[in-house]
Amino acid sequence: MRPVGFNFDKINVEKLSDKAENIKINTKIDISEIKEIKSTFLKTKEDIVKVKFVYGINYDPEFAKIELEGNVLFSLESKKAKDLINQWKEKKISEDFKIILFNFILRKSNLKALQLEDEMNLPLHIPMPSLKKQESEDNTK
C-alpha cells in the first residue's frame, strides 16, 4: 500500500474576529468517500483507491477556521482494495490503513495550514521549534 497521488479540491480560511483571547484550537479529519478508480494515467498492477477527506481547524470561540478538502490516491493489492471498499460500505476503516492515511493527510495538510495561518496572522495550530537563551550555570557572578 502506497500513496500515489494527493491534491486539494477546496481551501477555505476565514478570520471571524480580531479578538484573540482564550483561543482553543481543535483539529479534525473526516473521511467522506472511499472508492476504487480506474485510471488511464496511472499504470500499475495494483488497484487504485481514492479517499476523499476534509481536514478542519477551528479556533474557538468563533475566532477563525480553516477547511481543506482533498483526496489521496493509494495503490493497493487487489484483495486489500476490495476489503477496504467493503469495510467502507459500513463506514469502517482498518486501524492499519487509518494510521497510514491520517499520517499522510496530516503531513500534507499541516504544511498548507501553517502557510495559511502565517498569511492570515492566525495563531499556529501546532507549536514551532524555537530557541531560548540558556541560563548560566554560574549564578554567583
pLDDT at 101 over 60: yes
- The model carries a pTM of 0.85
Q: Give the pLDDT of residue 1.
A: 82
Dihedral (Cα; 101, 35, 27, 10), 10-degree rounding: 120
The model's confidence at residue 45, banded by pLDDT at 50, 70 and 90, is: confident
The model's confidence at residue 44, banded by pLDDT at 50, 70 and 90, is: low
Compute the mean pLDDT over every residue in the chain, rounded to the nearest whole number: 91
What value, to the nearest 5°, has the Cα angle with vertex 11 and ends 126 and 29? 55
> Percent of the chain having pLDDT more than 90?
70
Q: Give the pLDDT of residue 30.
A: 97
Q: Give the pLDDT of residue 134.
A: 87
Q: Give the pLDDT of residue 139.
A: 57
In 3D, which of 26, 55, 7 has the Cα closest to residue 126? 26
What is the CATH class of 2-119?
alpha beta
pLDDT at 42 over 70: no
pLDDT, mean of residues 133-139 = 74
117, three cell numbers: 495561518
Tallying the residues shown for the chain, one arrives at: 141
